[in-house]
Structure formats: C-alpha cells, structure tokens
Amino acid sequence: MLKISGKTIITFNINGSAHEVTVRPGDTLLEVLRSRLGLTGTKVGCENGDCGACTVLVDGWPVKSCLMLAVEGVGRAITTIEGLTNTPVQNAFANFSAFQCGFCTPGFIMVCHSLLMHHPNPDDYTIESWLQSNICRCTSYQEISAAVRSLIKSDA
C-alpha cells in the first residue's frame, strides 16, 4: 500500500514527458501544474469545480484540476493546454474567433478535444452536455459551438 505523508517527490507524465516534482497530499493538481511546473496555460478560476477554466485531460478524459489531488496523478497520462499546440481544435478556435478575453479558452479546448476523441461525430445533445461544464463570461458560446461543429467528421 502506497502512503504519502508530508512533502514527497513524485513523478508525473505530463504532455508525454516525465516530470519530478515535490508535492504534499493537500496540493491540488492545478497548483502543482502552475506553481511548480510553470504550466500556466491551465487557469485558476473558481477553484470549486464550477467554471472549468482549470480543465486538463487525465487519461484522455476532462478533469477539473482544482478538484484533483496532485498525488492522484501518479501513473496517469496528463495533458494540459500546452500539450495541444497546433491541434485541430486549437486551430478551429482561432479560425472561428471562439474567444474574446481568452481566459476560459484553454478549458474549453481541453473539453472539445476530449469530446472529439471520444465522439468523433457527436450529436447536438452530446456537444451541449459536454460544453456545459465550462463557463465563458464573454459569452462566446456560438463561436465555440461553431468551432466544434467544424471538426465533426460527417460535416468535413
């Protein structure tokens, strides 16, 4: 049985690379990504699981990193927005101007990327239910929806 007590060095697999970092069990994945690893593309929003700005992928599924202990990340494949550079979803967001201030954009891109990995041809209900996890205060929802829909295989 693994026991982690106090500050401990653990190894993460983030964006395909191994990273050693010192954590305590009370550290969330969000603060370790930003403060220890400098991966500041993951944004701090509500820190209560409501806004989705801190979303990352864990084993391909979207997870709000404010609601995940860093120690839970051991042995899991973690992807942050820095790992999705030049992906079709990122390009679609740029092409459809699916952002204004951009603060929520990394979280939305993570969710959209995962959605299309798991459902290459999602129906409207699936798109809506996945995207409801994130909040955009600039209300760019129509443009975000258009960006996602542009990547649906049957529409290509």
Partner 1 sequence: MIPYDFDYYLPDTWQEAVDIYHTLKADAKNPLYYGGGTEIISMARVGSVRPNAVIDIKKIPECQSFGTDGTKLFFGAALTLATIRESGLYPLLSLATGRIADHTIQCKLTLGGNLAGTIHYHEALLPLLLADATIHIANAQCIREVPICDVLNMNGKLTPGELILMVSLNKRYAAYPYAHIKKTKAEKIGYPLVSVAALNVGGTLRLAASALCSFPFRFKDCSFADARPAMDIVRELLADLPEPVLSDTEGSAAYRQFIFEKTAEKIITGFRNGGSHA
Identify which of residues 51 and 151 has a Cβ nearer to partner 1 in the complex.
51
Q: Does 55 bind partner 1 (CB under 8 A)?
A: yes
Q: Does 67 bind partner 1 (CB under 8 A)?
A: yes
**CA distances (Å), 49 to each of 13, 106, 112, 152, in order?**
23, 15, 18, 28
Task: Return the residues of window 77-116 that contact partner 1 according to CB under 8 A.
Answer: 111
Question: Which residue of 40, 49, 82, 146 would you call a contact of partner 1, by CB under 8 A?
Answer: 49
Question: Which residue of 41, 45, 62, 106 would you call a contact of partner 1, by CB under 8 A?
Answer: 62
Question: Which residue of 102, 118, 138, 142 would you call a contact of partner 1, by CB under 8 A?
Answer: 118
Q: Does 48 bind partner 1 (CB under 8 A)?
A: yes
Q: What's CA 65's distance to the chain center, in Å? A: 8
Residue pair 18/11 in contact (Cβ under 8 Å)? The answer is yes
Instruction: Report DSSP letters for 67-136, one per residue.
Output: GSBGGGGTTSEEE-GGGGTT-HHHHHHHHTT--SS-SSHHHHHHHHHHHHHH-SS--HHHHHHHHTT---
In the complex, which residues of this chain contact partner 1 (CB under 8 A)? 1-6, 24-28, 31, 47-49, 52, 55, 58, 61-64, 66-69, 71-72, 111, 118, 129-130, 132-134
